[in-house]
């Protein structure tokens, strides 16, 4: 087991009402960089998704297969290398085949939720969840009159399957929403688990109560002029001290306009 300790910036007098937990301008600048990078990644996912994301976004492909591929991306996770989808490509199966991928010894990405000790339980539970609804499309659509925000929240709750932790569920719904497969948009980060995103939110926002965390996270996103889902990847990367790009590396450089906006909001 490797234990990695990330050095935090020293107290240099930095204070921001948006980040009551921070006392270091270096840490605040690093957050601004990650927020702007995440904004660039999401912009690419929405406008020009690369590789397997493009297959998910392709409206001429079968809806159930697009949805299943998004699930595999979120569950296994793109690698941080020149061929980020190599592992997923090697094991992917079709939804129509009824076969789950062989995940024995698979290499996973930094945001994977795959548990190698119980490799089948999540995908098996997911198939059963979709079949109960009649199809994946029916399960993700829910009620036609739902808003994109309500659909995101309700589906996030319903996807609480064995081994399918917060990071995987949130990533899946963002992928499906950003690529236009379903109308999904988060109104909350769904914080509360012990994942890096929640840990970072508690450290930055200076409170542990989930409701207040969500409110302060929304205020931070609004002040920076960013969509709320940009905070998810940014907080994950800030907490880890290492940038994951989720296979969107060409969009991972901080968006200049977003970076300026974040710096102004954070008084940098």
Domain boundary among 178, 205, 240: 178
Binned at pLDDT 50, 70 and 90, residue 118 comes out as confident
Binned at pLDDT 50, 70 and 90, residue 192 comes out as confident
In a domain, 18, yes or no: no
Q: What pLDDT, on the 0 to 100 scale, is given for residue 11?
A: 84
Parent domain of 117:
50-178
In a domain, 5, yes or no: no
Q: Cβ atoms within 10 A of the Cβ of 49, count?
A: 21
Q: What pLDDT, on the 0 to 100 scale, is given for residue 254?
A: 86
Domain boundary among 117, 150, 178: 178
pLDDT at 1 over 50: no
In a domain, 30, yes or no: yes
In this structure, what token pair is assigned to residue 58? 């392709």
Residue 150 CA to residue 219 CA, distance in Å, equals: 19
The per-residue pLDDT of the chain, averaged, comes to 93
Mean pLDDT to the nearest integer, 87-112: 94
Q: What pLDDT, on the 0 to 100 scale, is given for residue 6?
A: 54
Domain boundary among 149, 178, 207: 178
How many domains does the structure of the chain reveal?
2
Q: What pLDDT, on the 0 to 100 scale, is given for residue 106?
A: 94
Q: What pLDDT, on the 0 to 100 scale, is given for residue 203?
A: 94
**Same domain (yes/no): 234, 133:** no
**Same domain (yes/no): 165, 64:** yes
In a domain, 10, yes or no: no
**Same domain (yes/no): 137, 158:** yes
In a domain, 13, yes or no: no
In the chain, what percentage of residues exceed pLDDT 90? 86
pLDDT at 199 over 60: yes
In a domain, 6, yes or no: no
**Same domain (yes/no): 134, 88:** yes
């Amino acid at each position: 087991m490797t234990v990695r300790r990330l050095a935090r910036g020293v107290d240099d007098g930095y204070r921001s009402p948006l980040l009551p937990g921070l006392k270091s301008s270096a840490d605040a600048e690093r957050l601004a960089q990650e927020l702007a990078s995440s904004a660039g990644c999401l912009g690419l996912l929405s406008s020009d998704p690369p590789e397997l994301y493009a297959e998910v976004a392709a409206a001429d492909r079968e809806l159930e297969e697009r949805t299943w591929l998004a699930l595999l991306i979120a569950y296994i996770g793109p690698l941080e290398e020149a061929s980020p989808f190599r592992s997923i490509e090697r094991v992917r199966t079709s939804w129509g085949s009824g076969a789950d991928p062989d995940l024995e010894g698979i290499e996973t990405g930094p945001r994977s939720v795959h548990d190698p000790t119980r490799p089948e339980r999540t995908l098996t539970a997911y198939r059963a969840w979709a079949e109960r609804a009649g199809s994946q499309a029916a399960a993700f659509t829910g009620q036609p009159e739902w808003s994109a925000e309500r659909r995101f929240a309700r589906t996030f709750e319903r996807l609480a399957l064995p081994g399918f932790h917060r990071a995987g569920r949130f990533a899946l719904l963002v992928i499906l929403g950003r690529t236009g497969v379903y109308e999904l948009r988060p109104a909350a980060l769904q914080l509360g688990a012990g994942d890096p995103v929640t840990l970072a939110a508690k450290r930055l926002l200076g409170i542990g109560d989930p409701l207040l965390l969500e409110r302060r996270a929304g205020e931070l996103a609004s002040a920076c002029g960013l969509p709320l889902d940009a905070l998810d990847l940014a907080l994950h990367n800030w907490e880890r001290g290492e940038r994951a790009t989720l296979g969107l590396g060409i969009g991972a450089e901080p968006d200049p306009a977003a970076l300026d906006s974040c710096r102004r909001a954070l008084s940098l």
